[in-house]
Amino acid sequence: MERRTQPRTNLRLPVFLISPDRAIPVHTQTEDLSMEGFFCYTQELFAPGQRLRFLLLLPTARKDAQSRAMYLLGTAEVTRVSAGSSGTDFGVGCRLSEYRVLTSLDALNEESIVAALVDPPRAVM
């Protein structure tokens, strides 16, 4: 029986995840997503009920338009965890709690990603 209220789209987008007990974000990609959440595989084990900060890179029309890139920045709750097919990764289902759309970050590098996840900038509307 399907419990999702929103349809999922098979879409692979870069996503960074960070939990309160980690200083370094986990970089992975979504397998699918909806208006309510996303699913991804990661080498890090997260627990159901755990709250994560996330930064999701949205596709842009032009690949060279780094300054026009858009991101979703927010928090999500881990709703399910499953063993991955490789035996060393985990499938992680996350439900979005809150998020905001960002239209730019200084540079897409590890330092700015950590800064955005720890101390998020205000949304540009």
Q: CB under 8 Å to 104, separation ≥6 — which residues?
A: 67, 68, 69, 124
Per residue in 12-40, pLDDT (tens digit) is 999 999 888 887 889 999 999 988 999 99
Domain of 80, CATH number, reads: 2.40.10
Does residue 67 belong to any structural domain of this protein?
A: yes
Per residue in 90-125, pLDDT (tens digit) is 999 999 999 988 876 544 555 666 666 666 555 444
Q: CB under 8 Å to 60, separation ≥6 — which residues?
A: 68, 69, 70
Per residue in 44-92, pLDDT (tens digit) is 999 999 999 999 988 776 655 555 678 888 999 999 999 877 778 899 9
Residue 125 CB neighbours (<10 A): 6
Does residue 103 belong to any structural domain of this protein?
A: yes
State the total domains in the chain.
Answer: 1
